[in-house]
Structure 1
Amino acid sequence: MTQSVVVQVGQCGNQVGCRFWALALREHAHVNKKGVYDKALSSFFQNGGGGSAVAVLVDMEEGVVNEILQGPLREVFDSTQLLTDVSGSGNNWAVGYMTYGSAYRESIVDKLRRASERCDCLQYFFLIHSMGGGTGSGLGTKDLSLLEEEFPDVCRIVTSMYPSAEDDVITSPYNSVLATRELTEHADCVLPVENQVP
């Protein structure tokens, strides 16, 4: 059976990722009352060994990840697959890509390897991140390049949240342009989403 590893990066990536997990679990519980992950969900979860999600959560501010660990999804994630810092990337792509990408490279690669080892047949990595913030755009695209380097034969699918025209972060256009260049180099498929409130 083919499986995937979900990689959530930055505040937005982890918030959107949590909505994904909550919806997937709610829909699964509606049709499967046994509590065992069937073929549909076993692509994202490991039966046995606690049944945790096959995921890596990364954020250079610990607030959102801490909220996840205290919320209803706390038992879904393996705490050894989380990576946080306290200072954040200051809405700067270069800080996320260069500073944190260099500082946490080995830790990120180690977590990605451990997550991939939990899969019987790893089909793809599914990266969720934003394009406007520093961690999501910078460290998110650095993680994408690490995935290509470490797992060149595994497909890389990316959901990228692009900033809206009303975004108040002055560096969003800069971050988005630099991150888009990295996406064109390292992603196999990009699912762009505009972060626009209707």
Structure 2
Amino acid sequence: MLVSPTALYMLWNITESDSTASHLRFKIGQIIRRKEIRNPAKLASLEGIIPKHLLVYFLKNACIPSLIDQARVVSTTAAILEQRQDVCSALRVLDAANADEYESEIYEITNRQILEAGQRIVDGTRIHVDVDALARWATRELQEDFYRYKDLAQVITTLEFDDVMQGLLIDGQLPNSASSFDEADAVLYSLLTKISNEFLNNPLFGLD
């Protein structure tokens, strides 16, 4: 049962042929999709029926996520990685001399799963802001204030405007009042306050 896909793997490992890889995935899929298998780790139960060295070679080298993904027994990357962990657990017993190698792979997959789970949490809670809509609102509602500030401060380039903003934010936060500002800074502070209030309180821009 494993001779053909193992031979295809050896050939593909030498040639890296896309055609050979396709045939290899097809053969692996035929095996894994069997009702009594469904998970490549279950092949370990065939020890004694299949020569041990062939079984270990096939599980170790051919039953990897990039080759079993098209078997479509499971539909998610997480499930495929869990199957690979199962394979490594079986290999720890079948190939005890290399148990440390399989332990390391299980550990690496676990770390990857933890990192991916954390990334999904971050992505799922990331605040979405309709920046274009907010910019259109600011252009419509604050244009007069902006040009007033521009005239007062004689800001004529984006770089200089950014420098002014950086000066206001040098301590990591905006001041609580504009009482100590000159007139230009007071107008700029007012602009930033209006934009931040709109951003925080108007659900059209992403926050409610």
Q: TM-score, normalised by structure 1?
A: 0.27
The TM-score with structure 2 as length reference comes to 0.26
User: Structure 1 or 2: larger helix share?
Assistant: 2
**Could you say which structure has the larger radius of gyration?**
2
**Higher RCO (Cα < 8 Å, 6 or more apart):** 1
